[in-house]
Amino acid sequence: MIDFFIKVKQQMALNLPFVIYRKPNKTKLIGFFQKNDHLYFAEDFNETGFVFAPFDGSQIILIPKKESVLWESELTAFKADYDSDIEYPENIEDKERFESLVQKGVDAVASGTFKKVVLSRKEVIDLTNFDLVSVFKKLVHTYPAAFCYCWYHPKIGLWVGATPERLLKASKKKFCTMALAGTQNYEDTIDVVWKKKEMEEQQFVTDFILDSIKSLTTEVAVSSPYTLKAGGVLHIKTNIEGKLNKDSNMKQVVSVLHPTPAVCGLPKESAKNFILENEEYDREYYTGFLGEINKKEFSKDTSKTDLYVNLRCMQIKDKRAHLYIGCGITEASIPEKEWKESVNKSMTMKKVL
Task: Quickly list DSSP for 25-89.
Answer: T--EEEEEEESS---EE-SSS-S-EEEEE-TT--S-EEEEGGGEEEEEEE---------TT----
Burial degree of 287 (CB within 10 A; 0-12, 13-18, 19+): buried
Residue 132 CA to residue 353 CA, distance in Å, equals 9
Distances (CA, A) of 209 to 109, 159, 177, 241, 270: 20, 27, 9, 11, 17
SS3 293: strand
Question: What pLDDT is attached to residue 302?
Answer: 77
CA-based nearest residue to 232, from 274, 185, 200, 191: 185
Q: Percent of the chain having pLDDT more than 70?
A: 96
Model confidence at 282, in pLDDT bands (50, 70, 90)? very high
Question: What pLDDT is attached to residue 239?
Answer: 96
What is the distance between the terminal CA atoms of the chain, rounded to a whole angstrom?
A: 21
Name the β-bridge partners of 289: 53, 309
- For the stretch 49-100, pLDDT in tens is 999 999 998 899 999 999 999 999 998 877 666 665 677 888 899 999 999 9
Where do runs of H (alpha helix) occur along 167-229?
196-213
CB atoms within 10 A of CB 221: 10
Please answer whether residues 232 and 348 qualify as being in contact, where contact means their C-beta atoms are separated by less than 8 angstroms. yes
SS3 176: strand
Residue 41 CA to residue 307 CA, distance in Å, equals 16
Please answer whether residues 60 and 52 qualify as being in contact, where contact means their C-beta atoms are separated by less than 8 angstroms. yes
Question: What pLDDT is attached to residue 298?
Answer: 61
Exposure letters 259-270 (e unless 16+ CB within 10 A, then b): bbbbbbbbebeb
Question: What pLDDT is attached to residue 154?
Answer: 98
Which uninterrupted H or E stretch holds 141? helix 132-142
Tell me what the mean pLDDT of segment 39-45 comes to: 95
Question: What pLDDT is attached to residue 85?
Answer: 60
Question: What pLDDT is attached to residue 83?
Answer: 61
Please answer whether residues 319 and 127 qualify as being in contact, where contact means their C-beta atoms are separated by less than 8 angstroms. yes
- For the stretch 116-135, pLDDT in tens is 999 999 999 999 889 999 99
SS3 253: helix
Question: What pLDDT is attached to residue 76?
Answer: 84
Please answer whether residues 161 and 345 qualify as being in contact, where contact means their C-beta atoms are separated by less than 8 angstroms. no
Distances (CA, A) of 128 to 131, 161, 198, 315, 318: 10, 20, 38, 15, 11
Please answer whether residues 314 and 323 qualify as being in contact, where contact means their C-beta atoms are separated by less than 8 angstroms. yes
Tell me what the mean pLDDT of segment 9-18 comes to: 97
- For the stretch 293-352, pLDDT in tens is 998 876 566 789 999 999 999 999 999 999 999 999 999 999 999 999 999 999 889 999
CA-based nearest residue to 100, from 328, 336, 281: 336
The pTM of the full predicted model, rounded to 2 decimals, is 0.92
- For the stretch 165-224, pLDDT in tens is 999 999 988 999 999 888 898 999 999 999 998 998 899 889 989 999 999 999 999 999
In this structure, which amino acid lies at residue 191? D
CA-based nearest residue to 114, from 273, 5, 237: 273
